[in-house]
Amino acid sequence: MKHIAKAIDTLKKIGIEGIIIGSTCLDLTLNRRSIEGDIDLFVTSVSLIIEEEKIYKAAEENSWTIGTTSLGTPSITMNIYGEDISVDLYENVMDFYIPIEAIELCKRTSTINNVEVAYMALECWVV
């Protein structure tokens, strides 16, 4: 879990905040020690399309690898504690849509290594 906290904290420091969606919600709910796969982050602080250049610049400055998700949004791979952790960044784009009301209703938080991590409640993720 410390990898999630470090990734979220690192992104917060460059102005990217959001809520974890996808299978990592299960890892957080079950309090697993490690995660499987990548971290899917629905970004709530900036528009990924408008701020794309800022994200690419931050990736270059921090020696992160940057790619794209299947929706064309940025995917960042950062080395955290000797492991490559990929964070796929999402926002409401094309056929991908999460209503703000659902985010507000389903948001849960955990404090991991003094970092507040927001994620979707498992029952919302399954739906």
Instruction: Give me the tens of pLDDT residue by residue for the chain, a chain 127 residues long.
Output: 899 999 999 999 999 999 999 888 888 888 887 787 899 999 999 999 899 999 999 999 999 999 999 999 999 999 999 999 999 999 998 888 999 999 999 999 999 999 999 999 988 865 5
pLDDT at 68: 95
The parent domain of residue 84 ranges over 2-126
* CB of 68 closer than 8 Å to CB of 76: no
pLDDT of residue 126: 58
Contact 43, 89 (CB under 8 A): yes
Number of compact structural domains in the chain: 1
Count CA atoms within 13 Å of residue 36 on its CB side.
6
Residue 27's pLDDT is what?
86
Quick one: pLDDT at residue 63?
A: 95
pLDDT of residue 35: 81
pLDDT, position 37: 82
CATH number for the domain harbouring residue 111: 3.30.460.40
